[in-house]
Structure 1
Amino acid sequence: MRGEPSGAAPLGEYAVIVNPEDNVAVVKRRTSRGLRLSFDGRVIVVEDEIPPGHRFALCAIPPGEFVRQYGQPIGTSRGIGAGEWVTHANMSNDVPVVRDLPEDLHNPPPDYFPEEQRARFRGFVRPDGRVGTRNHVLVIPTSMCASHEAQQIATLAEHLFDVRARFPNVDGVVAIPHNKGCGCQDGSTLEVLLRTLANYAAHPNVGAVLLIDLGCEKTNLARMERWMRERAMELNKPLARIGIQEAGGTRAAIDRGLREIEKMLPAANAAERREVSAGELVLGVKCGGSDGFSGLSANPAVGQAADLLVRSGGTVLMTEVPEFCGAEHILAWRARDAATGRAVYRLVDWYKEYASKFGAVLNENPSPGNVAGGLLNITIKSLGAIAKGGTTRVEGVIEYGERVPGRGLWLMQGPGYDQESTPGLVAAGATIVLFTTGRGTTIGNAIAPVVKVASNTPVYERMRNDIDLSAGTIIDGTETIEQVGQRIFDHMLRVASGEVRAKAEENGHREFQVWAEQTVSL
């Protein structure tokens, strides 16, 4: 084995090269000016004090040449010397856009595991054949006008009826208060709201439902139930309805709601977990508070777990369409056929047009925290973000909160905003969510466990009461992506089985919001 050049440390001690075709390395330990690093038999002198998550050039990159990470262009050089810190000052965000797809595009189906080799978990098998990871009694306000009462009913019921102690098969009584509905919003926003609420009611993580309205709103009980009938949606679970005006106001509606919940709890508690194939899971993958390591550790490790699930016959849902921008060609080329690839492009183009109506530009998606962590532009962020979808082919695309029609990897229309995109994944059928973060986040969901994975060791150590797992060992060099992916997959099955709770569940996080697509207030 060739020795290191005199006075130079191995590059791997300070940085990571993501792909052999890259001409930059990502810093994992803060460098000092003049640091000598050995790489490929030569010495690179780092010209700056570079923070973790950012990158330096492995060689001189002349003006006009592409800067590459993940084996893909992430920008165009304005003239970057070897060892120089890559910043907005010396790299533009210009990257090639190539969208041609061959008409005979075809990607083979996943390499499925034999049935007898597939992992298993214990879930709640519902009458429609779907399998839940949790068993909640859910209080659904059909509009913001009933959200206060819904929240009061759920909160009081859990304490009054000592739910977790008396009804061990019930994971909780939860509500999904929101600010939509009533009569001040129209257009597709109402369609999205009705679809989301209906799919939460029908969700396999829900064992009983209480619907509550004010009585005069556009999204009242009659309209919601008509919407469900028109789509042949049958809940096949205990169901009760309350109208606040009809009941006599707030206090009367809350009292009646508590009586209904008390009657539902024994029926919901009758559900029991059964052992089933891991292929019955529907996994939502999500990222938030990302940093320069997210695409190097947590996202590809979650992608590894996603691949294991798909190969087990399961389903994976990925959204955050603004964070496909700059990487959509990779997803399109991974589509099952050309028609699906074109659908991927339409997904992104629709969002670009949608954003432009409000004066927004998708290229401005990276937040100040993202940029500070090394995600200088949307291309870098997107290339790292899509890694959490794994490597199997894209089966199709769905609308926000639309129930996924098949198995394998699917893409869902929707924003990157955590508080809206996570509930959309669950509405589409996700029974568990893997959520990666580089800077730390605490989010959960009202009815589905959200397992959070840190991209680096420091944020995991700092927020280990909120973050379930660390992929920082990949950056530290003590585990591979494959090893962490397997660890994530195994932990996911334990959470899905109810053996352990996600940290967000332990902390009482029950976030819910609905994407206000095309909102018009009248």
Structure 2
Amino acid sequence: MAKRILKIHPKDNVLVALTDLQAGETVEYNNTTINLAENVPAKHKFAQYKMVPNQEIIMYGTLVGKAVDTIPAGGILSTVNVKHQASSFGAKTADFTWQAPDVSKYVDKTFMGFHRQDGQVGTANYWLVIPLVFCENRNVNIIKQAFLDELGFGHQDLYKSYVHQMVELYKAGKTDEIAQLQLQEQSQNGQKRIFENIDGIKFLTHEGGCGGIRQDSDMLCGLLAGYIHNPNVAGATVLSLGCQNAQVSILEEKIKALNPNFSKPLIVLEQQKEGTEQELLSQAIRKTFLGLVEANNEVRKPAPLNKLVIGLECGGSDGFSGISANPSIGHTSDLLVALGGSSVLSEFPELCGVEQELINRCQANDTADKFVHLMRSYARAAEAVGSGFDMNPSPGNIKDGLITDAIKSAGAAKKGGTSPVVDVLDYTEYVTKPGLTLLCTPGNDVESTTAMAGSGANIILFTTGLGTPTGNPVTPVIKLSSNTKLAQRMPDIIDIDTGAVIAGEKTIEEMGEDILDYIIDVASGNIKTKADQLGQDDFIPWKRGVSL
């Protein structure tokens, strides 16, 4: 019989409903009978025993809230009777030891990747077309229209065909038939790619580069430099207007800082120097085509698993995320770290309440101090505009059991597994060390995934409990559901279902190994992620300053 309730940590004073529970039912835990005071939907939490106002709520073994009112034993926790509360944090207070998992079955495994001259290995081979300023977005989109379909990189446009059918019915005077017209799946036998060793041309339009503070333009250049440096990128075409804050020279400095011996093909064109739009575009298209010819010479070759840099992300989280999907990819992270690879945990607003644990996991005091500084600076910036980390949970999070930021954070942090923290990076800084790195980003899904790819991630694991169709232009995003109902309802966006953990059919360790096996296939080009199949190329730079 499947388990109906779960106590995550021995210190917890709340239980999690693994299935819908009804008011008046009784559940047994630790030889104690609990009468449910009200309906408790799956994913939500209820009090193990009576709680009084201001009593601390403990979950995942840590402080996640305080009772506002009396909560009876069996009473559901909600935003009405619980408020956000998190533990304080400071300097590193304890040494950390780690028992690495057994990775003997993976030691000799490889993936088929693209080897770059700087020693990085890509899991894909993309060409980028990037504007340094929003003024060039239109030109980038013209180049996009010129290239994609002609080179066989375009995605099948079912919806364009759907509208065409409606137009034909309207012209024929058959308006009444439009209401019954169904979208029909079409054959996937599209035009063959001209460049077989190139996975695509990606176009990274954005709204930055000028008009804001200079720090934002500098960070944008740093982010774009990280994308160009990312091992999944073979080369890039950069369009500049000329007069904007994000100058070509700044981008070049950022690239040089990442790699003094940078040797990838890089085409830079400035509209105010080239003259007419036609001259700019004809040059950009011609030179890009020749760059693609060069990039197509790259081929996949075997690479050790320590060349993987895995981004760890969650979005549209639910009350099961911290129990199934997040700890599963946390174990995957531990396996990779034990193999000498790298993983990246970001979303600093969603580490609220678990800071001290992460601080104590830092290998060096200066690394811990940098994390403290970044967390406190970020929190002050949020408070300065009348917000705070306590306002992080979305309506969807709350509806599905994540009622305080500390509850959400305690579950989100499970993505980082149990390994030591080897480095802490600010936004746009690049991963250089094997092991677990903390990267300062927002909790916003796309801003965070955008940042991780810019910091060198060549694969991203993205857990979701509600369903989030996020992808990335250059880094394959593997989407994992926390529950089986979601995987069945939205199979077009979910790659891996971790609901077997909730059902008791698989352990966290078994699921973590399954995920690593899947990563190897994706990294080798054997599997195309659902986000890639949908052409989900989300790219949003983080704007930290004000507009001027």
Kindly tell me: are residues 115 and 90 of structure 1, through their superposed partners in 2, closer, same or farther at Cα, counting changes over 3 Å? closer
Q: TM-score, normalised by structure 1?
A: 0.93
The amino acid that maps onto 2:114 is F
Any conservation in 1 of the 2:91–2:369 contact (CA below 8 Å)?
no
Q: 1:28: Cα distance to partner?
A: 2.1
Q: Does residue 82 of structure 1 match 2:82?
A: no
Q: Does residue 123 of structure 1 match 2:139?
A: no
Question: Aligned match of 1:212 in 239, 246, 257?
Answer: 239
Partner Cα separation in structure 2 for residue 468 and residue 115 of structure 1: 23
User: Which residue in the other structure is 1:481 paired with?
Assistant: 508
User: Secondary structure, in 3 states, of the residue corresponding to 2:442?
Assistant: coil
Q: Does residue 99 of structure 1 match 2:85?
A: no
Any conservation in 2 of the 1:199–1:427 contact (CA below 8 Å)?
yes
User: Which residue in the other structure is 1:355 paired with?
Assistant: 382
Cα distance per residue 1:259-285 (max 9 Å; x no partner): 112212221111111111111000111
Partner Cα separation in structure 2 for residue 242 and residue 283 of structure 1: 33
Which structure 1 residue ranges, 5 or more long, are not aligned? Answer: 1-9
Q: 1:229: Cα distance to partner?
A: 4.2
> Which residues in structure 2 correspond to 1:419-430 (within 5 Å)?
419-430=446-457
User: Which residue in the other structure is 2:129 paired with?
Assistant: 139
Corresponding pairs, count: 509
User: Which residue in the other structure is 1:6 paired with?
Assistant: none
The amino acid that maps onto 2:32 is R
Q: 1:174: Cα distance to partner?
A: 1.0
Any conservation in 1 of the 2:442–2:448 contact (CA below 8 Å)?
yes
User: Which residue in the other structure is 1:159 paired with?
Assistant: 149
Partner Cα separation in structure 2 for residue 177 and residue 431 of structure 1: 21
Partner Cα separation in structure 1 for residue 474 and residue 488 of structure 2: 27
> Which residues in structure 2 correspond to 1:289-300 (within 5 Å)?
289-300=316-327
User: Which residue in the other structure is 1:332 paired with?
Assistant: 359
User: Which residue in the other structure is 1:49 paired with?
Assistant: 39
Cα distance per residue 1:287-336 (max 9 Å; x no partner): 11111111111100110111111111000011111111111111112111
User: Which residue in the other structure is 2:415 paired with?
Assistant: 388
Kindly tell me: are residues 513 and 96 of structure 1, through their superposed partners in 2, closer, same or farther at Cα, counting changes over 3 Å? closer
Partner Cα separation in structure 2 for residue 232 and residue 42 of structure 1: 62
Deviates more, 1:476-485 or 1:55-64: 55-64
Question: Aligned match of 2:302 in 270, 275, 279?
Answer: 275
User: Secondary structure, in 3 states, of the residue corresponding to 1:371?
Assistant: helix
User: Which residue in the other structure is 2:546 paired with?
Assistant: 520
Cα distance per residue 1:401-458 (max 9 Å; x no partner): 2111211000011111112111110111000100011110101101110111011111
Q: 1:351: Cα distance to partner?
A: 0.5
Q: TM-score, normalised by structure 2?
A: 0.88
Any conservation in 1 of the 2:101–2:334 contact (CA below 8 Å)?
no
Q: Does residue 186 of structure 1 match 2:213?
A: yes
Partner Cα separation in structure 2 for residue 362 and residue 116 of structure 1: 39
Kindly tell me: are residues 345 and 162 of structure 1, through their superposed partners in 2, closer, same or farther at Cα, counting changes over 3 Å? same
User: Secondary structure, in 3 states, of the residue corresponding to 1:44?
Assistant: strand
User: Which residue in the other structure is 1:412 paired with?
Assistant: 439
Partner Cα separation in structure 2 for residue 268 and residue 420 of structure 1: 28
Any conservation in 2 of the 1:112–1:312 contact (CA below 8 Å)?
no
Q: 1:138: Cα distance to partner?
A: 0.8
User: Which residue in the other structure is 1:3 paired with?
Assistant: none
Kindly tell me: are residues 299 and 339 of structure 1, through their superposed partners in 2, closer, same or farther at Cα, counting changes over 3 Å? same
Kindly tell me: are residues 232 and 457 of structure 1, through their superposed partners in 2, closer, same or farther at Cα, counting changes over 3 Å? closer
Q: Percent identity?
A: 34
Partner Cα separation in structure 2 for residue 372 and residue 409 of structure 1: 32
Partner Cα separation in structure 2 for residue 26 and residue 189 of structure 1: 42
Deviates more, 1:86-95 or 1:120-129: 86-95
Partner Cα separation in structure 2 for residue 170 and residue 271 of structure 1: 8
Q: 1:502: Cα distance to partner?
A: 0.8
User: Which residue in the other structure is 2:338 paired with?
Assistant: 311
Any conservation in 2 of the 1:212–1:221 contact (CA below 8 Å)?
no
> Which residues in structure 2 correspond to 1:62-81 (within 5 Å)?
62-77=52-67, 78-81=69-72
Q: 1:69: Cα distance to partner?
A: 1.3
Any conservation in 2 of the 1:55–1:374 contact (CA below 8 Å)?
yes
Any conservation in 1 of the 2:114–2:123 contact (CA below 8 Å)?
yes
Question: Aligned match of 1:472 in 499, 511, 524?
Answer: 499
Question: Aligned match of 1:364 in 378, 383, 391?
Answer: 391
Q: Does residue 29 of structure 1 match 2:19?
A: yes
The amino acid that maps onto 1:158 is L
Q: 1:115: Cα distance to partner?
A: 10
Any conservation in 1 of the 2:258–2:430 contact (CA below 8 Å)?
no
The amino acid that maps onto 1:186 is I
Partner Cα separation in structure 2 for residue 93 and residue 520 of structure 1: 29
User: Which residue in the other structure is 2:481 paired with?
Assistant: 454
User: Which residue in the other structure is 1:7 paired with?
Assistant: none
Any conservation in 2 of the 1:24–1:56 contact (CA below 8 Å)?
yes
Kindly tell me: are residues 232 and 425 of structure 1, through their superposed partners in 2, closer, same or farther at Cα, counting changes over 3 Å? closer
Partner Cα separation in structure 2 for residue 230 and residue 377 of structure 1: 40
User: Which residue in the other structure is 1:195 paired with?
Assistant: 222
Deviates more, 1:117-126 or 1:61-70: 61-70
Which structure 2 residue ranges, 5 or more long, are not aligned? Answer: 154-191
Any conservation in 1 of the 2:56–2:66 contact (CA below 8 Å)?
yes
Any conservation in 2 of the 1:292–1:373 contact (CA below 8 Å)?
yes
Q: 1:70: Cα distance to partner?
A: 0.9
